[in-house]
Amino acid sequence: MAHISTSDSAQSPDAALKPLLTVRDLSVEYRTKSGRVRAVDHVSFDINAGEVFGLAGESGCGKSTIAHAITRLLKPPAYTEGGDIRFQGRNVLELKDDALRAFRWEHVAIVFQSAMNALNPILTIGDQIVDVIRAHTGMSTRQARARALELLQVVGIDAKRIDSYPHQLSGGMRQRTVIATALALNPELIVMDEPTTALDVVVQKQIIDELQQLKKQFGFSILFITHDLSLLVEISDRIGIMYAGELVEIATARQLFKNPRHPYTQRLMNSFPSIHGAKQEMLGIPGSPPDLIHPPTGCRFHPRCSKVIAGVCREIHPQLIPLDATHAAACHLVNEGLHDAN
Ligand code: SF4
Specify the pLDDT at position 3. 35
Specify the pLDDT at position 6. 42
**What spacing in Å lies between the alpha carbon of 225 and ligand 1's midpoint?**
24
Chain-centre distance of CA 38, in angstroms? 18
Site to substitute for ligand 1 among 246, 312, 333, most atoms within 8 A of C-beta: 333
pLDDT in tens, 39-68: 999 999 999 999 999 999 998 899 999 999
- Beta carbons within 8 Å of 307's beta carbon, 6+ residues apart: 263, 333, 339, 341
Low-confidence ranges of the chain (pLDDT < 50): 1-9, 15, 341-342
Backbone angles phi, psi at 238, to 5 degrees: -130, 160
* Atom 5 (ligand 1) nearest CA: 331
Specify the pLDDT at position 323. 94
Atom of ligand 1 at shortest range from CA of 314: 7
Task: Give the chain's length.
Answer: 342
318: Cβ below 6 Å to ligand 1? yes
Specify the pLDDT at position 15. 47
301: Cβ below 6 Å to ligand 1? yes
Specify the pLDDT at position 9. 45
CA 263 – CA 41 distance, rounded (Å): 20
